[in-house]
Amino acid sequence: MSIAENIQIIKEKISNAEKKSGRTAGSVKLLAVSKFHPANDVLEAINAGQFYFGENRVQEAVEKFTPILENNPQVQLHIIGSLQSNKVKNAVKIASCIESIDRIELLKEMEKQCSKLEKNIEVLFELHTGEDSKSGFESPEKIEEALKLCAENQFPHIIPKGFMTMAPFTTDESLIRTSFSTLRKLSEKMKIEFPQFDLNELSMGMSGDFEIAIEEGSTIVRVGTAIFGERDYSK
Ligand SMILES: *Cc1c(COP(=O)(O)O)cnc(C)c1O
C-alpha cells in the first residue's frame, strides 16, 4: 500500500466513525505522525493532500520540516512529544501547535521565546491518563492551574486550544475508552470554567485506537504507523 492509499483508507475509517457516533462529517482532523520517517514520505503525503503533520522530537522535526515549510505554506506542524525547555526555542519556530504541554515551566519558556519572535502559538494541555506513558500533567487540577495563569494573561502569546492524551497500550477496550472519556470530561469542565478560550480541540487516538477515540469525542487523531508503516527505531 502506498502512503496515499493508506491516507485514503484512514480518512474513510474516520468518516465511518464520525457517522457511527453521530458526529458532524469533517469534525475530526487527521494529524499524520511522520516521526522516524524521511522527508520524502512527508512529501508523498503532501501530494496526496495531507497538510497536517505531527513530530515528537524537535531536532528531527527541524531538520525534516524547515525546507518543507518553506516550500509548502499550507503545511502545519504539531509537536506531540514531551518537550525539554532547552528545545522550546526551536520548537516554537517551526510548530503551529505544541500538543504536549505538561508543566507550567514550559509555558513560561514558550512565552519568553514567542515574545522574542513576536509569534503566537497554540497549545493543548496533555493529561496523563494511561498507565504506561509517563507524559502529561498528573492531574486535571494541575491543568486547571495552568489555564488560570493563561486566563490572568500571564502568557499573551500562548493560545489554549484544548487537551491531549495517550491511552494505555492495551487490548482492553474499556481501559482505552476510560482514558478518552476522562479527557473529554475534563474538557467539558474547562470549557465552562474558561469561556474566554476556545478549548474545542481533543487530540486523542492513534493508529490502534482512533475509532474508539472518535466515538469518545476526539477532534484530532494522531496517526503514524497506519499511514507511513512501522518505524525503524535503529536509525
Ligand atoms: C508516535 C505517536 C503517535 C502515532 O502513533 P501510531 O501508533 O504510530 O499511530 C501518536 N501520538 C503520539 C504522542 C506519538 O508519540
Per residue in 114-141, pLDDT (tens digit) is 999 999 999 999 999 987 667 899 999 9
Compute the average pLDDT of residues 147-159. 98
Integer Cα distance of 64 and 176 in angstroms: 32
- Counting atoms of ligand 1 from 1, which one is nearest the CA of 56? 15
- The proportion of the chain whose per-residue pLDDT surpasses 70, expressed as a percent, equals 99
Integer Cα distance of 81 and 99 in angstroms: 8
Per residue in 2-43, pLDDT (tens digit) is 999 999 999 999 999 999 999 999 999 999 999 999 999 999
Dist. CA 151 → ligand 1 center (Å): 30
Q: Residue 219: pLDDT above 70?
A: yes
pLDDT on residue 175:
95
The finding on whether 133 has its CB within 6 A of some atom of ligand 1 is: no
CB burial of residue 33 (10 Å; 0-12, 13-18, 19+):
buried
Substitution site in 80, 99, 132, 231 for ligand 1 pocket (most atoms within 8 Å of beta carbon): 80
The finding on whether 136 has its CB within 6 A of some atom of ligand 1 is: no
Q: Residue 210: pLDDT above 90?
A: yes
Distance (Å) of CA 83 to CA 10, 49, 75? 28, 28, 21
The finding on whether 34 has its CB within 6 A of some atom of ligand 1 is: no
What is the DSSP secondary structure assignment for residue 18, as one 8-state letter? H
Helix residue ranges, H only, the chain: 3-20, 39-47, 58-71, 88-94, 104-117, 140-151, 173-193, 210-215, 225-228
Integer Cα distance of 66 and 76 in angstroms: 11
Shortest-distance Cα residue to atom 7 of ligand 1: 207
Compute the average pLDDT of residues 203-231. 98
The finding on whether 167 has its CB within 6 A of some atom of ligand 1 is: no
Per residue in 174-184, pLDDT (tens digit) is 999 999 999 99
Integer Cα distance of 138 and 226 in angstroms: 29
Q: Residue 235: pLDDT above 70?
A: no
pLDDT band of 233, cuts 50, 70, 90: confident
Residues 6+ apart with CB under 8 A from 22: none
Q: 62 and 90 in contact (C-beta within 8 Å)?
A: yes
pLDDT on residue 234:
83
The finding on whether 213 has its CB within 6 A of some atom of ligand 1 is: no
Dist. CA 222 → ligand 1 center (Å): 6
pLDDT band of 46, cuts 50, 70, 90: very high
Q: What is the mean pLDDT of the chain?
A: 97
For 177, half-sphere exposure in the C-beta direction (CA atoms, 13 angstrom radius) is 5
Compute the average pLDDT of residues 44-50. 98
Distance (Å) of CA 21 to CA 154, 213, 215, 231? 38, 11, 5, 31
- What residues form DSSP beta bridges with 121? 158
The finding on whether 181 has its CB within 6 A of some atom of ligand 1 is: no
Q: What is the pTM of this model?
A: 0.97
